[in-house]
């Protein structure tokens, strides 16, 4: 059991203090049933009294812990400890052989024995911003087609997944016209003469933005540490064809890269 709490009733904690202290208690197993399974937390009023906070402030504490994936809430029944198992995210799975009607994310979930799907948030056309324009070698003002998805696993948003391709390549194709492309959008690019054969992944430290907080179900103001992967895909002619931006909250994803030593095979 943890003793991470204010030392006396007169010692008030701030919201951030209470988040830290309650997080440590949860991780120490304070709110577990005898068999070790997750249990219900005391009410916001009870916890608020304990930490010298108002009920409203304590609700804010619980919202922050929910955003971190440490607690979950049930309507009308309070907050419960949440055992969240992070998704193992393998960027290299993009190049593994898929079935004719299986996209990359579905294959990733199947390999991890997890349940989930991809929620399409938006398909649009817009001028490329500097990041996308520089990766795709586009002209100033050139338009891109955009597919913004949020990938779900076990009922929760795991990460955002936004892809950009020059509009001149995919205009009037399923890439930009269809919400659900069963065979996968990479296969559509291959059909258009731009099969992806190589990718460069940039990994950047990141804090979720307000827009990402909404898409990821974190709640307004509940930004969390994350990594952003900027993946630039090239075709056989070594032309940059697609940029995909992933925002992966640290508590919901573990990014795994498998690497092999390259060996030259010559005559013996």
Task: Tell me how far apart the alpha carbons of residues 144 and 242 are, in angstroms, rounded to a whole number.
Answer: 10
Give mean pLDDT, residues 158-167: 97
Which of 63, 81, 99 is the endpoint of a domain? 81
Instruction: Say if 10 falls within a structural domain.
Output: no
CB count, 10 Å around CB of 7?
7
The residue among 235, 169, 228 whose CA lies nearest residue 196 is 235
Highest mean pLDDT among 21-35, 47-61, 226-240: 226-240
CATH number at residue 60: 1.10.10.10
User: Do 110 and 40 belong to one domain?
Assistant: no
In a domain, 243, yes or no: yes
Burial of 243 (0-12, 13-18, 19+ CB in 10 A): buried
* Residue 99: predicted pLDDT: 55
For residue range 34-72, list pLDDT tens digits in order: 888 889 999 999 999 999 999 999 999 998 888 777 888
Structural contact between residues 224 and 250, judged by C-beta atoms closer than 8 angstroms = yes
Range of the domain at 41: 15-81
227 within a domain of the structure (yes/no) = yes
What distance in Å separates the CA atoms of residue 71 and residue 40, rounded to the nearest whole number? Answer: 9
Is 249 part of any domain?
Answer: yes
Last residue of a domain, one of 50, 66, 81: 81
Chain segment 97-139, per-residue pLDDT in tens: 555 555 667 767 766 667 788 899 999 999 999 999 999 999 9
Q: How many domains does the chain have?
A: 2
Through-space distance between the first and last CA atoms of the chain, rounded to whole angstroms: 65
């Amino acid at each position: 059991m943890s003793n991470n709490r204010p030392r006396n009733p007169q010692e008030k904690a701030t919201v951030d203090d209470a988040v830290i202290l309650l997080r440590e208690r949860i991780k120490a197993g304070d709110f577990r049933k005898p068999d070790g399974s997750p249990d219900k937390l005391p009410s916001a009023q009870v916890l608020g009294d304990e930490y010298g906070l108002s009920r409203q402030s304590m609700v804010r504490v619980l919202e922050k812990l929910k955003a971190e994936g440490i607690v979950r809430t049930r309507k009308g029944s309070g907050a419960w400890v949440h055992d969240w198992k992070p998704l193992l995210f393998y960027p290299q799975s993009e190049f593994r052989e898929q079935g004719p009607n299986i996209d990359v994310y579905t294959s990733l979930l199947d390999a991890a024995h997890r349940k989930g799907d991809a929620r399409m948030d938006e398909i649009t056309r817009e001028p490329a911003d500097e990041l996308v324009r520089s990766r795709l070698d586009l002209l100033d003002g050139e338009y891109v087609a955009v597919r913004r998805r949020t990938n779900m696993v076990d009922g929760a948003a795991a990460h955002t997944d936004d892809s950009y391709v020059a509009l001149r390549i995919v205009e009037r194709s399923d890439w930009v016209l269809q919400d659900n492309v069963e065979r996968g959008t990479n296969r559509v690019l291959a059909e258009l003469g731009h099969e992806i054969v190589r990718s460069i992944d940039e990994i950047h430290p990141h804090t979720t933005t307000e827009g990402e907080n909404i898409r990821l179900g974190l709640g307004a103001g509940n930004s969390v540490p994350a990594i952003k992967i900027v993946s630039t895909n090239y075709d056989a002619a070594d032309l940059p064809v697609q940029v995909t931006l992933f925002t992966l909250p640290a508590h919901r994803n573990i990014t795994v890269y498998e690497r092999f030593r390259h060996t030259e095979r010559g005559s013996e």
